[in-house]
């Protein structure tokens, strides 16, 4: 038999979590054609797998790569860490659908399209998928529909309960989007306008997602002081709607007072699973989170609109915001864990602590925050160092926890949180080899077959004959991350080959540039 690629003598971890075994693997026509010892036949390319682990391509269970996919279809930061498939449209945000009636509000949620052609494509998800299908994608991409986008389409940023008619419109948009190929729904309940929704609205929309064979993911209302209560709310949504639930980037943030709360939340989730609730979570392997600096501003003020909010942040009016942002703490104490991830107006601040920047500017940190938000029109990204290693390890050990980057497109931020570039190798190097938090086969399962099953990604997640040839070949002794908060662009170690749909897209940490990615739509599952 003749193969396109023949991998010899690799240790195969097939994605099930079972022990590894040594074998060859033959690739033909984008699929795994044969697995066995000493396969007979010729191949255009022969890869020496001795000393290496062969496993399924990694699946990023929580990605914001879609935020820049129009500008960065190559997805170099994805392939560079062994990810062959990512699931986007997370945290209530998605590129589509949009509506011209609330266009600026939709753009606040989903990002500004490149041009009128891209905007026209974003008005309906089916048109957006057709638009992306013409792009040379560097990775497989699957999408959810953002609840924030549904609200923006129907209600703008109005902070109120939807009317029955408005709720019906959101349900119809969700159903149409899932018919077009979306895998489900995502909630972003700390971000306006999604944060304005009451629990009953969430249940109604989750029920629509379930009826269409999908799931929902959720960035909960709180990941800090009210983490336990927020978890209980989402388990209620899952159980009353009958919809599969994925709690996004599960963690306990906000500082030492909230540490160890994951023990309680995981217990709640395990009890729900025992009752038949189909609940999972994802996490990134870092003790720092990242999101917009504007999340420090109370949700209700975002309903005023960007220009009105910028006016409130002006030097003449900002003191009215100090008590609601800083409380009884000094601004230096309030921002002691805040690092600037990136700033359009001040790229030199990337990777520096806000207090340090304020001191260099001779300012109060509160004023520095306000000035940056004004200069960036609210787009400043921040990194918050407020979590514990114990919570990261506890979540990682939970059998229903998947791995995700929560990373953005590289084109959106230079630099960014290191998770954008290195989350998956970090799990393998730091948490498997160095800390022994989980075993290597279990880590691979969490990165491959588990998200493939949760999201219904046919042909993905296992090393089996007939499956798609999305594969990673790495050195278990050296694989790991090198990216830091101050220098996130450092390449990972130990990744020898990445195959995507049967094509080599990474060789010795260098992308080949092969545009082998595909859109993964629900109707194709």
pLDDT > 60? residue 413: no
Which helix (H) or strand (E) covers residue 132, if one does?
Answer: helix 125-132
E-assigned strand segments in 115-255: 140-143, 145-146, 184-188, 215-219, 244-247
CA distance 133 to 112: 19
Predicted confidence at residue 273, as pLDDT, reads 98
Domain-located, residue 436: yes
Domain-located, residue 431: yes
CATH number for the domain including 485?
2.30.40.10
Does 241 share its domain with 346? no
State which residues form the domain around 396.
1-56+220-288+386-516
Does 401 share its domain with 413? yes
Does 242 share its domain with 391? yes
Does 435 share its domain with 484? yes
| CA distances from residue 515 to 136, 138, 500, 511 in whole angstroms, order as listed | 5, 5, 9, 10
Does 270 share its domain with 393? yes
Does 489 share its domain with 426? yes
In this predicted model, what pLDDT tens digit does every residue of 314-368 receive, in sequence order?
999 999 999 989 998 999 999 999 999 989 999 999 999 999 999 999 999 999 9
Query: What's the chain's Rg over C-alpha atoms?
Result: 23
Helix axes 354-361, 365-375, angle to 10 degrees: 100
CA distance 12 to 20: 5
In this predicted model, what pLDDT tens digit does every residue of 122-176 receive, in sequence order?
999 999 999 999 999 999 999 999 999 999 999 999 999 999 999 999 999 999 9
Region at 240 (left for phi over 0; alpha for psi -120 to 50; beta for the rest): alpha
Torsion of CA 411, 413, 419, 425, to 10 degrees: 40
Last residue in a domain, options 384, 414, 445: 384
22: how many CB neighbours lie within 10 A of its CB? 12
Most confident of 114-118, 227-231, 332-336: 227-231
Does 493 share its domain with 391? yes
Phi/psi for 57 (5° steps) reads -60, 140
Rounded to the nearest integer, the mean pLDDT of the chain is: 95
Does 232 share its domain with 378? no
Domain-located, residue 307: yes
Q: What do you get for the CA distance between the two ends of the chain, in Å?
A: 30
CATH number for the domain including 352?
3.30.1490.130
Helix, strand, coil in percent for the chain, rounding step 5 = 40, 20, 40
pLDDT > 50? residue 525: no
Does 390 share its domain with 380? no
Domain-located, residue 24: yes
In this predicted model, what pLDDT tens digit does every residue of 86-96 receive, in sequence order?
999 999 999 99
DSSP per position, 30-85: TEEEEEETT--SEEEEEEE-TT-EEEEPEEESS-BGGGGTTT-TT-HHHHTTTEEE
Last residue in a domain, options 357, 384, 411: 384
Closest CA to 254 of 300, 287, 279: 287
Task: Name the 3-class secondary structure at 220.
Answer: coil
Please answer whether residues 55 and 12 qualify as being in contact, where contact means their C-beta atoms are separated by less than 8 angstroms. Answer: yes
Region at 193 (left for phi over 0; alpha for psi -120 to 50; beta for the rest): alpha
170: how many CB neighbours lie within 10 A of its CB? 24
Does 321 share its domain with 464? no
166 burial type by CB count under 10 A (0-12 exposed, 13-18 middle, 19+ buried): middle
Domain count, the chain: 2
Rounded average pLDDT over 404-417:
79
Q: Which residues contact 401 (CB under 8 A, 6 or more apart)?
A: 250, 280, 281, 282, 283, 395, 446
Cα-Cα-Cα-Cα dihedral sign, residues 182, 106, 84, 393: negative
136 burial type by CB count under 10 A (0-12 exposed, 13-18 middle, 19+ buried): exposed
Rounded average pLDDT over 485-499:
94
CA distance 479 to 470: 18
In this predicted model, what pLDDT tens digit does every residue of 393-402 receive, in sequence order?
999 999 999 9
Predicted confidence at residue 68, as pLDDT, reads 87
Domain-located, residue 50: yes
Last residue in a domain, options 384, 408, 431: 384
Q: Please, what is the Cα angle at 109 between 100 and 170, to 5 degrees? A: 65
Does 440 share its domain with 414? yes
pLDDT > 70? residue 415: no
Does 444 share its domain with 316? no
In this predicted model, what pLDDT tens digit does every residue of 248-290 receive, in sequence order?
999 999 989 999 999 999 999 999 999 999 999 999 999 999 9
In this predicted model, what pLDDT tens digit does every residue of 497-514 receive, in sequence order?
999 999 999 999 899 989
Domain-located, residue 237: yes
Share of the chain above pLDDT 90, in %: 91
Domain-located, residue 106: no
Predicted confidence at residue 1, as pLDDT, reads 86
Domain-located, residue 243: yes
């Amino acid at each position: 038999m003749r193969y396109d690629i023949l991998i010899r003598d690799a240790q195969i971890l097939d994605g099930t979590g079972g022990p590894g075994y040594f074998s060859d693997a033959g690739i033909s026509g984008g699929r795994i054609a044969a697995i066995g010892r000493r396969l007979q036949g010729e191949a255009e390319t022969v890869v020496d797998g001795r000393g290496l682990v062969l496993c399924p391509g990694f699946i990023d269970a929580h990605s914001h790569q879609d935020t820049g996919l129009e500008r960065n279809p190559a997805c170099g930061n994805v392939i560079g860490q062994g990810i062959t498939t990512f699931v986007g449209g997370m945290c209530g945000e998605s590129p589509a659908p949009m509506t011209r009636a609330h266009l600026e509000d939709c753009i606040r949620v989903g990002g500004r399209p490149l041009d009128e052609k891209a905007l026209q494509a974003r008005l309906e998800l089916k048109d957006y998928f057709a638009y992306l299908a013409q792009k040379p994608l560097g990775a497989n991409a699957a999408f959810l529909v953002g609840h924030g986008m549904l609200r923006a389409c129907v209600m703008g940023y109005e902070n109120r309960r939807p009317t029955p008619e408005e709720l019906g419109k959101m349900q119809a948009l969700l159903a149409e989007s899932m018919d077009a190929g979306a895998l489900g729904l995502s909630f972003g309940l700390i971000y306006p306008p999604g944060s304005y929704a009451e629990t009953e609205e969430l249940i109604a929309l989750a029920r629509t997602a379930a009826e269409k064979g999908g799931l929902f993911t959720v960035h909960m209302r709180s990941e800090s002081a009210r983490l336990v209560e927020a978890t209980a709310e989402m388990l209620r949504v899952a159980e009353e709607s009958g919809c599969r639930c994925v709690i996004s980037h599960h963690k306990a943030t906000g500082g030492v007072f909230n540490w160890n709360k994951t023990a309680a939340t995981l217990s709640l989730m395990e009890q729900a699973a025992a009752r038949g609730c189909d609940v999972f979570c994802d996490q990134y392997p870092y003790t720092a989170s990242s999101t917009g600096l504007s999340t420090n501003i109370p949700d209700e003020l975002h309903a005023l609109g960007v220009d009105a909010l910028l006016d409130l942040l002006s030097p003449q009016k900002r003191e009215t915001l100090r008590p609601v942002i800083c409380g009884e703490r000094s601004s230096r104490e309030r921002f002691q864990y805040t690092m600037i991830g990136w700033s359009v107006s001040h790229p030199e601040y990337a990777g520096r602590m806000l207090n340090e920047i304020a001191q260099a500017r001779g300012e109060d940190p509160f004023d520095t925050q306000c000035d940056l938000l004004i200069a960036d029109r609210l787009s400043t990204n921040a990194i918050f160092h407020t979590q514990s290693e114990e919570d990261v390890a506890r979540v990682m050990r939970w059998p229903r926890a998947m791995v995700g980057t929560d990373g953005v497109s590289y084109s959106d931020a230079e630099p960014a949180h290191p998770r954008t570039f290195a989350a998956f190798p970090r799990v393998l190097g730091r948490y498997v080899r160095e800390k022994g938090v989980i075993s290597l086969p279990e880590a691979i399962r969490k990165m491959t077959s588990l998200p493939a099953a949760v999201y219904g990604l046919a042909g993905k997640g296992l090393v089996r004959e007939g499956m798609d040839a999305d594969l990673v070949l790495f050195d278990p002794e050296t694989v790991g991350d090198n990216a830091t908060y101050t220098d996130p662009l450092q390449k990972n170690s130990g990744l020898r080959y990445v195959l995507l749909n049967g094509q080599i897209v990474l060789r010795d940490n260098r992308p080949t540039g092969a545009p082998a990615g595909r859109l993964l739509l629900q109707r194709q599952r």
